[in-house]
Amino acid sequence: VQPPHHTIMEVKRSTMDINSLSSDIQQRFDTTFIIYDNTSNTTYLRGRLLGKGGFARCYEMLNLDSNRIYAGKIISKTRIAKPHQKQKILREVQLQKNLKHRNVVEFVSYFEDDQNVYIILENCSRKSLVHVLKHRKCLTEPEVRYYLRQLVDGVDYVHSNQIIHRDLKLGNMLLNEAMDLKLADFGLATRVDYEGEKKMTVCGTPNYIAPEVLQKKGHSFEADIWAVGCITYALLVGRPPFETTTLKETYQRITQNNYTLPSSLSTSVKNLIRRCLHPEPVSRPTLQDILSDEFFTCGFLPHSLSPACCTAMPKFP
Ligand code: ADP
């Protein structure tokens, strides 16, 4: 099958561009792997693999028109052959498309060719807090204030757009070059269509699942607050609050609200975690309550973090 005329033109033009690229870029990007976005007339070169997900492989992508680097999720059409699988990806794109906030990964473009679908996103070159915690085991309270404030800001923006994320976890908290936190992955997210609407089910398995979601009692924005509590705990302790060796036991503990707070934690953060992990959704704090909690107001909150914090414990004044 002959590609449309403009595709040939684009690839020719970009081949010319490739010859003028710096040797650094030529080494970092595969100049034989050209990806053409026919929705915006943009040509990309594929670079190094950033990570693998359930469906997608995520690569650095160089936009040859702007010379800027993005993250491109590439999903083989053979992996999403069933209509509901593609539907799910399109829903994710629809939810994320119009969101624009400094703590939410920016959506750039969605397009397809014969083999793949492509989702182009803002590049988060320092990976996720999973990677940080792997090196660090646990973080200091000032660092947790730094990450948590940005998480709460991002989630607040998402909620103000009537979207519940439903899968807040360390792997969905990405970091860009400057160590800004970016909330990612709207694969389990949902839109609340009217005030007070309760969602009954989630299509998928959220990592930090709230008891009301587990028990299918009807859930809403408060399920994300529960996850914020789990994230705070995990960052400070190095493991999730309800972790056991089996999913069944973990779910039992969540239902029984059975977790322990190490005595090494400050009183203020213990109180904040307890409030977020309240079994009754209505009794949990709002996002604004979290930011005005004593944990934030009575301790050091760094304005920026050095990238060295990804691998080594920082010293604060
Ligand atoms: P899937 O939807 O198939 O589960 P993910 O969204 O989990 O795919 O992405 C797979 C991996 O790609 C992630 O673990 C993460 O490391 C990486 N990744 C995803 N989005 C970005 C991004 N915007 N910038 C950098 N890396 C990313």
The pLDDT of 66-81, averaged and rounded, is 93
Report the atom number in ligand 1 closest to the C-alpha of 92.
2
Cβ 88 vs Cβ 81: under 8 Å? no
Taking the CA atoms of 54, 60, 63 and 64 in sequence, report the sign of the dihedral they define.
negative
Say whether pLDDT at 280 is over 60.
Answer: yes
Residue 279's pLDDT band, with cuts at 50, 70 and 90, is very high
DSSP-based three-state secondary structure for 47: strand
Give the residue among 231, 91, 101 at the shortest CA–CA distance from 167: 231
CA 140-143-144 angle, 5° bins = 85
Cβ 222 vs Cβ 281: under 8 Å? yes
Say whether pLDDT at 27 is over 90.
Answer: no
> What's the confidence (pLDDT) of residue 19?
66
Instruction: Give the residue whose CA is nearest to atom 15 of ligand 1.
Output: 51
> What's the confidence (pLDDT) of residue 137?
95
Q: Which two tokens stand for residue 148?
A: 């948590």
How many angstroms is it from 260 CA to the middle of ligand 1? 32
Catalytic residue among 37, 153, 167, 185: 167
Whether ligand 1 lies within 6 angstroms of the CB of 120 is answered as: no
Strand-pair category, 107-112 with 116-122:
antiparallel
How many angstroms is it from 272 CA to the middle of ligand 1? 30
The pLDDT of 5-14, averaged and rounded, is 48
Give the residue among 150, 183, 145 at the shortest CA–CA distance from 167: 183
Instruction: Give the residue whose CA is nearest to atom 5 of ligand 1.
Output: 53
Whether ligand 1 lies within 6 angstroms of the CB of 185 is answered as: yes
Whether ligand 1 lies within 6 angstroms of the CB of 142 is answered as: no
How many angstroms is it from 117 CA to the middle of ligand 1? 15
Phi, psi values for residue 274, rounded to 5°:
-55, -40
- Higher-confidence position of 316 and 249: 249
* C-beta atoms surrounding 11 within 10 Å: 13
pTM, whole model, 2 decimals? 0.91
pLDDT more than 90, % of the chain: 81
List pLDDT tens digits, range 198-246.
999 998 889 999 999 999 999 999 999 999 999 999 999 999 999 999 9
Say whether pLDDT at 74 is over 70.
Answer: yes
Mean predicted lDDT score pLDDT of the chain: 92
List pLDDT tens digits, range 146-170.
999 999 999 999 999 999 999 999 9
Say whether pLDDT at 145 is over 90.
Answer: yes
Whether ligand 1 lies within 6 angstroms of the CB of 80 is answered as: no
Q: DSSP string spanning 151-179?
A: HHHHHHHHHHTTEE-----GGGEEE-TT-
> What's the confidence (pLDDT) of residue 204?
82
Say whether pLDDT at 4 is over 50.
Answer: no
Q: Is 167 a catalytic residue?
A: yes
Give the residue among 212, 210, 218 at the shortest CA–CA distance from 167: 210
Binding positions for ATP are 82
List pLDDT tens digits, range 185-204.
999 999 999 999 999 999 88
Question: Measured in whole angstroms, how far is the alpha carbon of residue 206 from the centre of its chain?
Answer: 13
Whether ligand 1 lies within 6 angstroms of the CB of 127 is answered as: yes
How many angstroms is it from 171 CA to the middle of ligand 1? 8
